[in-house]
Amino acid sequence: MTNHPPTPTLLDTVEESMQANDPLNQYLVELEEAVRLLKRDTLWQATQVLFEAWRREAQIFILGNGGSAATASHMANDLNKLTITPGKPRFKAIALTDNIPLMTAWGNDNSYEDIFAEQLINFIRPDDVVVAISASGNSPNVLRAVQVARQHGALAIGLTGDTGGKLKGLVDYCVLTPTGHICQQEDCHLIAEHAIANTLKALVEAA
């Protein structure tokens, strides 16, 4: 009886092609390089601004769209909980991405460009801080929120990517992720957020 080799399946063909091109490894190598090129001085500047906000018990507002909205919520979570130190004041971080009814009300009744700016108008005070996250740096609703922050005397930090878009020129401090790949930009923003939050925890503990 003749044993015939198994007939290759479509899955076999796809796996062979992917192993040859190795997109998984390529993505991770590119991400490693982007993280390596993150400027530590700008990360430290952003961390210092947030630490000073904690010292004066200022509010910190965080915002973004899509994946950046998820990072905004994640950052608010970390600033509010991860940094807790017994006997010390807590951070006052608010993710403007979390009130879905209010965002949809402003989007439906006015414009999607207003969903963050109008929320800010209710709460923003001089010396508060706004953290604006936008991979392109050109999201109209993010830019409008930063403009409102500046009009009210608040400081603005930008987390953006590639060349920074319009956001880079609007904020006081810009953390720029040196890659044109939007997913890697979002990865870097989350890594930067974790680095900042953990550093803030250490600073609060030492204060």
pLDDT per residue, tens digit, the chain (207 aa), is 556 656 656 666 656 656 667 888 999 999 999 999 999 999 999 999 999 999 999 999 999 999 999 999 999 999 999 999 999 999 999 999 999 999 999 999 999 999 999 999 999 999 999 999 999 999 999 999 999 999 999 999 999 999 999 999 999 999 999 999 999 999 999 999 999 999 999 999 999
Q: Is 77 among the domain residues?
A: yes
Taking the chain, what is the end-to-end CA distance rounded to the nearest angstrom?
A: 80
pLDDT for the residue numbered 36: 95
Domain that holds residue 190: 39-206
38 alpha carbon, distance to own chain's centre: 14
Q: Is 88 among the domain residues?
A: yes
pLDDT for the residue numbered 194: 98
Q: Are 154 and 124 in contact (CB under 8 A)?
A: yes
Q: Is 148 among the domain residues?
A: yes
Q: Is 56 among the domain residues?
A: yes
- Its sign, for the CA torsion 52, 146, 44, 67, is positive
Q: Is 1 among the domain residues?
A: no
pLDDT for the residue numbered 21: 73
Q: Is 128 among the domain residues?
A: yes
Q: Is 100 among the domain residues?
A: yes
Q: Is 2 among the domain residues?
A: no
- Total tally of structural domains belonging to the chain: 1
CA dist 163 and 135 (Å) reads 10
Domain at 134, CATH number: 3.40.50.10490
